[in-house]
Structure 1
Amino acid sequence: MSSEGVEPGTVRPGGRTARVRESVLRAAGDALVEHGFDGLDLADVARRAGVGKTTVYRRWSTTTGLVADLLDDMAEQSSPRADTGSLIEDLRANAQLVVKTLTDPRQGPLFTSVIAAATCDPRTAESLHRFYAIRVKEWAGCVIAALERGELPAGTDPDEVIRAVSAPLYYRLLASGAPLDAAAADLAAEAAAAAARAGVYVR
């Protein structure tokens, strides 16, 4: 397939170039954690990754292209969903994973930087939306399985249930400053499960 017309940073390299991509994306993540999106510089990323500047500029072209590829990689590398046989336990696992990610010394600041960038950059916003769409679809399988077991009312929207788990956790991170801990994860999961059982998410 020709890559003509494909936006820089969206082509998936293979073979030896995969190692270059891995190094550059790791360096980009480190730079975002340290300096935020406004401080992201392709030349600095190249230096951190130990690769030539021309390689980075040719493949990603812009900082937004680099962040878009970083988000795509994060979606690809994310942990698979839980499959415990119980809706509430699956949702707890989802909430615990969100809390673990957002409180991680590296992942937490990285997500905060990317979310901040997405508020003012359309391409970063598009990439962030794609990242969460992938993760929601992955975890929606928990709700689909619960529907098949008869745990939830017919017509329940699986995506909405998963969004309801993570939304209050991101609110704590970005707005309220309330603790992000195991108790917060349990509360988010239990609230989403209770609402789902009550038919709130029936469409």
Structure 2
Amino acid sequence: MTDAERASRPGGRTARVRADVLAAVEIELAEHGYDGLTIDAVAARSGVHRTTVYRRWKTVAGLLVDLLEAGADDAWAPADTGSLEGDLIAINREVFAALTARPSVTQAVIAASFRTSEAAEALTNFWIDRYIRTETVVRRAITRGEIPPSTDPHQVVMTATAPLYHQLVLLRQPMRQPMAVHYAQVAAASARRAD
């Protein structure tokens, strides 16, 4: 294989197969939930032979775990708007969009994680990774002198985002995007007053 061929095939066939299968898992999970997620349906939607899917992932739980692990391997980073409030608003807008999309892959993955211990562990690891990345916005605000150095980054992020998950996922009540913005503003104001 030449260098040009390698450049045109980043990751090669294995990476393409994984990407196709995981994209199919997202769609199937969002449309049919965990109970409706089958290896045969994923194989059909992805265009990957079912034998390949069974060999690589073995079970529906294996598909879900790999989907969550792939999410932790992505390049996502929070926006840098230049202010803590702006950054938290951007984060909450992303969370709001993910939780209110129809069908919501995020809500489907959260629900499915309650079905197997492997998926629950993978989701926990995913959230740990996401919170570590998201806490960057608070550390930037500390560096800018916007908030006290003693501010707990995790607490600020939780204060901003937790109400969205509580209302949209746990209570299954509607929320308008201005409320998501409001919770971000409240968290930023609270961080500015801390100490």
- Bin for the TM-score computed over the shorter chain: 0.7 to 0.9
| Alignment partner, residue 119 of structure 1 | 114
CA distance in 1, matches of 2:24, 2:76: 21
Say whether 1:156 aligns with 2:132.
Answer: no
1:82-131 alpha-carbon deviations (Å, 9 max, x no partner): 1111111111111111111112224x2x2222212222421111111121
Moved more, 34-43 or 73-82: 73-82
Say whether 1:61 aligns with 2:58.
Answer: yes
CA distance in 2, matches of 1:178, 1:40: 25
| Alignment partner, residue 82 of structure 1 | 79
The residue type equivalent to 1:72 in the other structure is E
> What TM-score does the superposition give when structure 1 sets the normalisation length?
0.83
Residue identity over aligned pairs, in percent, reads 44
CA distance in 2, matches of 1:190, 1:178: 21
1:53-108 alpha-carbon deviations (Å, 9 max, x no partner): 121111111111111111222344464211111111111111111111112224x2
| Aligned match for 2:49, one of 46, 49, 52 | 52
Q: CA RMSD in A?
A: 1.9
| Aligned match for 2:25, one of 25, 28, 33 | 28
| Alignment partner, residue 3 of structure 2 | none
The residue type equivalent to 1:17 in the other structure is T
CA distance in 1, matches of 2:135, 2:176: 23
Moved more, 139-148 or 119-128: 119-128
Q: Work out the number of aligned pairs and report it.
A: 186
CA distance in 2, matches of 1:121, 1:191: 36
| Aligned match for 1:139, one of 131, 134, 139 | 134
| Aligned match for 2:96, one of 96, 99, 107 | 99
| Alignment partner, residue 17 of structure 1 | 14
Q: CA deviation at 1:39?
A: 1.7
CA distance in 2, matches of 1:99, 1:38: 25
CA distance in 1, matches of 2:172, 2:41: 32
| Alignment partner, residue 173 of structure 1 | 168
Q: Which runs of 5+ in 1 are unaligned?
A: 1-12
CA distance in 1, matches of 2:141, 2:30: 38
Whether the aligned pair in 1 keeps the contact of 2:99 and 2:169 (CA below 8 Å) is: no
Q: CA deviation at 1:24?
A: 0.6
SS at match of 1:166: helix
Runs of 4+ in structure 1 over 4 Å off:
none
CA distance in 1, matches of 2:120, 2:189: 31
CA distance in 2, matches of 1:76, 1:132: 12
SS at match of 1:36: helix
> What TM-score does the superposition give when structure 2 sets the normalisation length?
0.87
Q: Which runs of 5+ in 2 are unaligned?
A: 1-9
Moved more, 152-161 or 165-174: 152-161
